[in-house]
């Protein structure tokens, strides 16, 4: 009799359309001759500190292919610019006191343990017991795409097989002892030692997909290209592999200053930023993003593994070496609305006011003695308000900023997902790299994501003043990459010869984060649609109890028939609740061309006309104050209720499409909380 978990996997695999295509081959990356610093990197890599993740490399499933003809290699000047990375590594090695290694941290999970943790993090932990699919699991699985279902089936199958092997005595195969005889290597007549013995590998390599035609032109830098978020990234990648050609993003390594422009494809529902969704809805996004990231890596042939979060000892300090959530908990006593630690805000503000135009900012180090003294003063006087930022030199402030990031108990990119960030440069296609980064940003905890965004906004301001500070995007990336990827001043364990590739990849990831941060801090439309389906299924669950399933299905089909017979029988007038400045109802004609911006404009015009009619009843001061508040206020339209908790709407979204996506929701005009 088959095991229950295997039966579940068989049921779910019926939803998967086909085995995924073979993974994309890797392209060789530029190498940099930096012997001394590379050796320092290798020496540091001999041990991994607490809560530091291991860099998981791309599995060797196919031989490396030469760079396409249309892609030019990076210039020699750009290769030499990696010196900033190695100089930063040397300074970190000299200045930071490395903590003693804890052998219990940074270890790979046992066989099946990673899959078990993955199923728990995605909300599918009930599948581990083999008790069947309950309502919660069915709701989640019903929202997944075919590639996402295939990813779930694959993890469940691996977990089931590992559990079965743990409870069964292993049987050794004779080929594991003596190897495999390769008859093709036997010499014909002279009996030379042409016989080859090959040790079996853990996983058989698959043949790579057909190579694209070498003559295909590449997209030129500066040309704006659409970035589609309407369909799942894994589905897009699978479709591209079936067509056996690269996407329009190209497979070449983009050089310094030649990153293409991507324009978010705005659908009828507009673009959703991370801050646009309520905390209740955002809690549903990370499990969906993890499933999608895993499915995307499966399609691309990437081995996505996460490290365990290491244990950290409580520090005696109040600022440096303290977790972000603990800092925010203390900051909320001073400023309840703080989303970024106040000390990090103060450091960034100091650098913005006095250091943006300084030549070599972030690259030129400060005084080591002054930096240590400033750190002690901050620990003692920051919360008392006695610390004076006017006395801080800008180079010392930049060292304090990097020191704050490195001394966090866990990496800013988190120990769990730091290996995934390191894998991103192995993806040949630039657009798919951004898709992977987009999902990784959604997986970060909120304190880490907010702190990273504040840092990236500052780095973008530094790059914008390049003519004054001589810091290009690549210079900034090479300097900041060691501070983000070398947690506690040491990199994770790496095979020999991988140091240079990791250095280039880490700098490239930081470069993409800085340059495309506006694109990355959004929630893809397909993820928002999945959140709507989850909320809709949860609200319908009481209706399906006590034999109400057939009644509900009849209603659904009846509503669909009515909609199909009378497509014009839709809402003609939208009633919009006004929560500010007074409670009121605004009626707006609902047409296919009505956008959110039209509603906000109509509300502003009506409010200004109403203020003119009250000129005789109000004194001049109160009238001017009302007009000033209306003019300066950021008026926004929210979608509340139905299949969404609360959603701040894009001004370019169309109301009729929003109504069709959420017919039971309400629209409310509010003032922006910021």
Q: DSSP for 4-50?
A: HHHHHHHHHHTT--SPPPPPPPP-PPP----HHHHHHHHHHTTS--T
Please report the pLDDT score of residue 631 as a whole number.
Answer: 52
Domain extent listing, the chain: 324-523, 570-671
Looking at 3.60.150.10, 3.10.20.90, 3.20.20.450, 3.90.1720.10, the CATH number of the domain 570-671 comes to 3.10.20.90
Please report the pLDDT score of residue 304 as a whole number.
Answer: 83
SS (H, E, C) 404-431: HHHCCCCCCCCCCCHHHHHHHHHCCCHH
Please report the pLDDT score of residue 52 as a whole number.
Answer: 40
Alpha-carbon distance of 228 to 265, in angstroms, equals: 5
Greatest alpha-carbon span in the chain: 114
Alpha-carbon distance of 285 to 529, in angstroms, equals: 11
Mean pLDDT of successive 10-residue segments in the chain (674 residues)?
A: 50 48 41 44 38 38 38 44 84 64 50 82 78 68 90 88 70 62 42 34 34 36 80 95 62 58 92 96 96 95 78 75 94 94 96 93 92 93 91 94 94 93 93 97 97 98 95 95 80 65 92 97 97 87 51 52 48 79 82 93 79 52 54 80 95 94 93 77
Task: Give every CB contact of residue 327 below 8 A, 6+ residues apart in sequence.
Answer: 319, 341, 342, 343
Backbone angles phi, psi at 645, to 5 degrees: -75, -60
Estimate the crossing angle of helix 113-121 against helix 285-300, to 10 degrees: 140
Please report the pLDDT score of residue 475 as a whole number.
Answer: 94
DSSP secondary structure letter of residue 616? T
Alpha-carbon distance of 674 to 97, in angstroms, equals: 41
Name which of 220, 298, 296, 241 is nearest 524 in CA terms: 296
CATH number, span 324-523: 1.10.555.10
This prediction's pTM: 0.77
- Coil, helix or strand at residue 575: strand
Alpha-carbon distance of 292 to 550, in angstroms, equals: 32
Q: Are 3 and 130 in contact (CB under 8 A)?
A: yes
Please report the pLDDT score of residue 418 as a whole number.
Answer: 92
DSSP secondary structure letter of residue 585? E
Token pair of 406, please?
A: 């490195």
Query: Which residue is listed with tokens 């669909």?
Result: 560
Alpha-carbon distance of 133 to 4, in angstroms, equals: 11
Task: Give every CB contact of residue 270 below 8 A, 6+ residues apart in sequence.
Answer: 596, 649, 650, 651, 652, 653, 654
DSSP secondary structure letter of residue 654? B
Token pair of 29, please?
A: 């990356």
Alpha-carbon distance of 52 to 674, in angstroms, equals: 36
DSSP H helix total and E strand total for the chain? 27, 11
Please report the pLDDT score of residue 74 as a whole number.
Answer: 44
Task: Give every CB contact of residue 11 below 8 A, 6+ residues apart in sequence.
Answer: 133
- CA 131 to mean position of chain CA atoms: 33
Name which of 481, 475, 486 is nearest 425 in CA terms: 481
Backbone angles phi, psi at 513, to 5 degrees: -65, -40
């Amino acid at each position: 009799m088959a095991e229950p978990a295997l039966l579940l996997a068989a049921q779910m695999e019926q939803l998967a359309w086909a085995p995924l295509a073979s993974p994309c081959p890797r392209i060789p990356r530029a190498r940099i001759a930096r012997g001394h610093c590379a050796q320092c990197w290798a020496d540091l890599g001999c041990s991994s500190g607490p809560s530091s993740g291991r860099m998981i490399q791309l599995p060797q499933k196919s031989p490396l292919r030469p760079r396409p003809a249309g892609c030019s290699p990076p210039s020699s000047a750009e290769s030499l610019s990696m010196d900033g990375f190695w100089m930063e590594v040397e300074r970190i090695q000299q200045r930071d006191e490395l903590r003693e290694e804890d052998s219990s941290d940074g270890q790979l999970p046992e066989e099946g343990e990673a899959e078990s943790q993955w199923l728990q993090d995605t909300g599918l932990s009930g599948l581990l017991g083999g008790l069947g699919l309950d309502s919660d699991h069915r709701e989640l699985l019903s929202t997944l795409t075919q590639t996402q279902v295939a990813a779930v089936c694959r993890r469940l199958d691996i977990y089931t097989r590992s559990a079965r092997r743990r409870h069964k005595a292993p049987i050794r195969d004779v080929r594991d002892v003596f190897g495999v005889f390769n008859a093709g290597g036997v010499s014909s007549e002279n009996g030379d030692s042409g016989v080859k013995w090959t040790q079996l590998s853990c996983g058989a390599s698959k043949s790579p997909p057909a190579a694209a035609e070498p003559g295909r032109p590449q997209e030129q830098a500066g040309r704006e290209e659409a970035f589609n978020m309407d369909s799942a990234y894994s589905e897009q990648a699978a479709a591209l592999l079936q067509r056996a050609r690269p996407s329009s993003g190209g497979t070449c390594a983009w050089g310094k200053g030649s990153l293409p422009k991507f324009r978010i494809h705005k659908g009828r529902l507009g673009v959703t930023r991370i801050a646009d969704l309520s905390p209740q809805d955002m809690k549903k996004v990370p499990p969906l993003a993890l499933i999608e990231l895993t499915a995307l890596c499966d399609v691309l042939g990437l081995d996505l593994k996460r490290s365990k979060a290491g244990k950290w000892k409580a520090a005696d300090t109040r600022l440096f070496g303290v977790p972000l959530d603990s800092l925010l908990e203390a900051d909320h006593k001073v400023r309840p609305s703080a989303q970024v630690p106040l000390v990090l805000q103060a450091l960034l503000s100091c650098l913005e006011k006095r250091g943006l135009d300084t030549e070599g900012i972030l690259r030129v180090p400060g005084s080591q003695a002054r930096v240590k003294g400033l750190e002690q003063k901050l620990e003692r006087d920051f919360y008392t308000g006695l610390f004076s930022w006017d006395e801080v030199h800008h180079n010392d402030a930049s060292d304090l900023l990097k020191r704050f990031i490195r001394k966090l108990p866990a990496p800013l990119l988190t120990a769990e997902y730091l290996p995934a960030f390191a894998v991103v440069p192995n993806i040949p296609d630039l657009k798919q790299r951004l898709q992977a980064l987009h999902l990784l940003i959604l997986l970060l905890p909120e304190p880490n994501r907010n702190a990273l965004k504040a840092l990236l906004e500052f780095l973008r301001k530094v790059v914008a003043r390049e003519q004054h500070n001589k810091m290009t995007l690549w210079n900034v990336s090479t300097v900041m990459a060691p501070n983000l990827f070398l947690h506690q001043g040491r990199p994770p364990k790496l095979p020999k010869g991988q140091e240079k590739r990791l250095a280039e990849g880490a700098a490239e990831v930081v470069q993409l984060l800085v340059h495309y941060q506006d694109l990355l801090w959004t929630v893809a439309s397909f993820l928002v649609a999945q959140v709507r389906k989850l909320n809709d299924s949860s609200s319908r669950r009481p209706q399906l109890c006590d034999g109400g399933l057939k009644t509900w299905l009849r209603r659904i089909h009846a509503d669909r028939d009515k909609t199909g017979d009378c497509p014009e029988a839709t809402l003609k007038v939208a009633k919009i609740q006004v929560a500010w400045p007074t409670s009121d109802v605004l009626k707006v004609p609902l047409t296919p061309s009505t956008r959110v911006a039209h509603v906000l404009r109509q509300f502003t015009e009506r409010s200004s006309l109403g203020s003119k009619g009250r000129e005789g009843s109000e004194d001049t001061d109160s009238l001017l104050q009302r007009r000033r508040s209306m003019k300066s206020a950021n008026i926004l339209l929210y979608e509340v209720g139905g299949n969404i908790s609360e959603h701040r709407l894009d001004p370019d979204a169309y109301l009729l499409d929003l109504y069709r996506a959420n017919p039971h929701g309400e629209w409310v005009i509010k003032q922006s909380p910021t």
